[in-house]
Chain A
Amino acid sequence: MSRTTMDLWVGVFVAMGIAALFFLALKVGSISGSDIQSPYTLSARFDNIGGLKVRAPVKVAGVLVGRVSEIRYDNERFQAEVVFTVDGRYKFPTDTFANILTSGLLGEQYLGLDPGGEEKLLAPGDVIKKTQSAVVLEKLISQFMFSKAAEGEPAPAK
């Protein structure tokens, strides 16, 4: 094996390896850091965040605009505080509504934003005040059962 053939093969090998890394980065995965340009952070408080996780998508009208960067518990308000980064190209009015939604019936949970009609825009670091908590299935079921029971109760008293 002469040195030049060896060098050629090593070159081919390294090129293939790097190509595979690029394939994994671009085609298989999505680069989360670089497709969000000049990001800024906002936050929102919720009574219950359900199964929302860090890195969950933030969507407006179904379009991905950012990701959840931090979830913490506010000891004074007894609420969950969700911090998320948003692409600097997108602006939202101050009366934007934040929901925790589920994609599909059993899919992952994400943060949905509904822009309102205000003219003033949210500045970096602002807190969204209007929020709606996650739908917790157990609560929904128990509510349904209680209302069924309430419907059934008056009958024997008749």
Chain B
Amino acid sequence: MADVFRKMGSMAINGIWQLGFIARFFWLILVYSGQSFTRIHLTLRELYFSGVMSLLIILVSGLFVGLVLGLQGYETLQRYGASDSLGTLVALSLVRELGPVVAGLLFASRAGSAVTAEIGLMKVTEQLKAMDMMAVSPIARVVAPRFWGGVISMPLLAALFSAMGVFGGWLIGVVVIGVDDGAFWAQMQDAVDFRYDVLNGVIKSAVFGVAVALIAVFEGYDCVPTAEGVSRAITRTVVSSALAILALDFVMTSFMFRG
């Protein structure tokens, strides 16, 4: 019995220790962020690797999610004779939830894992230590630009995902099934509010961006410098990011959409 409590205690202490470590790391990134903006090409390069490289998977997934939402939504709505509300259903589910959450999950597994792998490999091959010995801070030069690249990419990717999804829903609903085009857009615009729905969705995706980018750079920087250590760090990035996204989503949803 005492053993169980001991285990729980050590888990709690470890968790708090880890949290404090991440918080301190986050603070260091912010302190050393100057270069990421004064030498903007450092961040642009990371925007390319985390943003542009994730573009294809985000656009294709967004389209398919929109197509499925259109099909399933129509199936349900037409039973109540409300198929005109298809636009509302597709747009609200995408803008409020699916856009930020699914784009965040895809982003974590596409870009987050790549960032962890890159930083982890730099650690294994002593590139970070070498940089430090050359009096160049690895946090300023390597970590911070990757962090900001992720933070900036994420809301843009989520917006693209939602837009692509709405297009997919329109394609199925209006072009294939034949819901009235005017009703589709008018009902959607009537129900979707810019500040309440769209802006809250963007805020969500920005928060997910910070969470995923922070987890990815932290796991890479903190990994055990062996091949096995890096592969474990990559797994941890994907798992922790997914959990963080879903938990944060619940918290934010309950604050944003209570009324």
Is B122 interfacial (CB-CB < 8 Å)?
Answer: no
> In angstroms, how far is the closest chain B Cβ from the Cβ of A56?
10
Give every chain B residue within 8 A of A16 (Cβ-Cβ): 55, 156, 160
Give every chain B residue within 8 A of A54 (Cβ-Cβ): 259
Q: A23-B163, A28-B188, A30-B192 are in contact. Are A17 and B155 (CB under 8 A)?
A: yes
* Most chain A beta-carbon neighbours within 10 Å: one of B153, B163, B192: B163
Question: Which residues of chain B (90-140) have a CB below 8 Å from chain A?
Answer: 91, 95
Q: A6-B44, A10-B44, A13-B156 are in contact. Are A24 and B162 (CB under 8 A)?
A: yes
Q: Is A17 a contact partner of B157 (Cβ separation < 8 A)?
A: yes
> In angstroms, how far is the closest chain B Cβ from the Cβ of A84?
15
Kindly state the separation between the CA atoms of A18 and B188 in the bound complex, as whole angstroms.
20
Q: Is A17 a contact partner of B95 (Cβ separation < 8 A)?
A: no
Partner of B193, one of A9, A10, A20, A55: A55
Q: Is B52 a contact partner of A30 (Cβ separation < 8 A)?
A: no
Is B64 interfacial (CB-CB < 8 Å)?
Answer: no
> In angstroms, how far is the closest chain B Cβ from the Cβ of A103?
10
Is B48 interfacial (CB-CB < 8 Å)?
Answer: yes
Partner of B189, one of A20, A29, A53: A29
Give every chain A residue within 8 A of B45 (Cβ-Cβ): 6
* Most chain B beta-carbon neighbours within 10 Å: one of A1, A3, A10, A32: A10
Q: Is A20 a contact partner of B51 (Cβ separation < 8 A)?
A: no
Q: Which of B20-28, B71-79, B194-202, B242-250 contacts A (4 or more CB under 8 A)?
A: B194-202
Kindly state the separation between the CA atoms of A64 and B190 in the bound complex, as whole angstroms.
10
Q: Is B91 a contact partner of A28 (Cβ separation < 8 A)?
A: yes
Is B69 interfacial (CB-CB < 8 Å)?
Answer: no
New contact pairs (12) apart from A23-B163, A55-B193, CB-CB < 8 Å: A10-B48, A13-B156, A21-B159, A24-B95, A24-B159, A24-B201, A25-B194, A25-B198, A28-B188, A29-B198, A30-B190, A30-B193
Interface residues of B (CB under 8 A from A): 41, 44-45, 47-48, 51-52, 55, 91, 95, 153, 155-157, 159-160, 162-164, 166, 185, 188-190, 192-198, 201-202, 259
Interface residues of A (CB under 8 A from B): 1, 3, 6-7, 9-10, 12-14, 16-18, 20-21, 23-25, 27-33, 53-55
